[in-house]
Amino acid sequence: MDFSGRHIMSIQDFSRDELEHIFKVASDMEKYVKTGSDTLKNKILASLFFEPSTRTRFSFTSAMYRLGGNVLGFDDPEMSSKAKGETLVDSIRVIDSYADAIVIRHTIEGIVELAAEYSNVPIINAGSGTLGHPTQAMLDLFSILREKNTIDGLTIGILGDLKYGRSVKSLAYGLANYDVKLVLIAPELLRMRRDILEDLSEAGKSIREVPYLEETISDLDILYVTRIQEERFPDPSEYEKVKGYFIISKKSLKSAKDDLIVLHPLPRVGEISTDVDSTKHARYFKQSYYGLMVRMALLSLIMS
């Protein structure tokens, strides 16, 4: 399977076979997490973050260093020519001659796709507005696979801000490649968009929507929790209505299956209380580690 030069725009661009190939390469990368490698020696990744990030930016940077490559870029767009009014398209036309791939996170939907139209090197979407976060979905799927040895046959609850969150949308589309039951857990104001629900049912997914975790906790093999995306609410009074709606504590997991796994793309801002961290269910920190392996795999696949 040849991924070289390929943009990573949307999880929907990847077939199940392709995802499985990425997961295989990601597992192969584990040995380099400790020892490093020179797979991407002399390669440069440009990292353009127009929105805050910790894990995604650090793990792409770490992945590049682990594979012997280099990284240039910014995490504060005010320190780039954007502050002088340069368009992203102009920036891309310049940066693509300085780097072998470009990873971009942006608040505006569609702008990463636009960048890809102008770039001569592969572009990786590291989160675009409320729409998509394909590499997060890949690492979420990989985390499930590593923890459960399978994705098929599982009942997966996705809880939180299903309306403004991008990781949940990409994850739902990624899961559509597998034989899973999806339970979407959100209050009315934060339900998944109708067009996405339609796409998922067209893909033959069984989907149940419930407002509270209690209604479904005992069915779940995976509970994927996300934060409410305060910064993306067009109307702050709407945020006030759902603020603090979910707080998952050890007590909330009382009737969970013994081998339930709790995932979260992080950052968490109170929706999983810290008493869950020491339970056998918590895997959200491990998930960030799996993310490093997936990003090492993606970088090596598109750049070598």
Q: Which residues bind ligand NCD (CB under 6 A)?
A: 55-56, 127, 133, 136, 166-167, 226-227, 265-266
């929507």: which residue's tokens? 209
Alpha carbon distance 25, 185 (integer Å)? 33
């392709």: which residue's tokens? 18
> CB nearest ligand NCD: which residue?
265
Q: How far is CA 144 from CA 159, 180, 221, in A?
A: 16, 12, 10
User: Least distance in Å: CB of 160 to ligand NCD?
Assistant: 8
Which CB, 136 or 155, lies closer to ligand NCD? 136
Alpha carbon distance 7, 25 (integer Å)? 18
Which CB, 127 or 174, lies closer to ligand NCD? 127
CA gyration radius for the chain?
19
Which CB, 56 or 155, lies closer to ligand NCD? 56
Q: What are the beta bridge partners of residue 70?
A: 44
User: Least distance in Å: CB of 48 to ligand NCD?
Assistant: 15
Does residue 211 contact residue 186 with C-beta atoms inside 8 Å? yes
Which CB, 163 or 227, lies closer to ligand NCD? 227
Does residue 55 contact residue 290 with C-beta atoms inside 8 Å? no
Please tell me what DSSP assigns to residue 2: -
Which CB, 146 or 227, lies closer to ligand NCD? 227
Which phi-psi region, left, alpha or beta, contains residue 257 (left: φ > 0; alpha: ψ -120 to 50)?
beta
The count of other CB atoms within 10 Å of the CB of residue 241 is 13
- Phi first, then psi, for residue 204 (nearest 5°) are 80, 15
Tokens of 27: 């597992």
User: Least distance in Å: CB of 291 to ligand NCD?
Assistant: 8
User: Least distance in Å: CB of 217 to ligand NCD?
Assistant: 22
User: Least distance in Å: CB of 14 to ligand NCD?
Assistant: 18
User: Least distance in Å: CB of 133 to ligand NCD?
Assistant: 5
Which CB, 106 or 227, lies closer to ligand NCD? 227
Which CB, 167 or 300, lies closer to ligand NCD? 167
- DSSP codes of every residue in 85-122: T--HHHHHHHHTTT-SEEEEEESSTTHHHHHHHH-SS-
User: Least distance in Å: CB of 49 to ligand NCD?
Assistant: 10
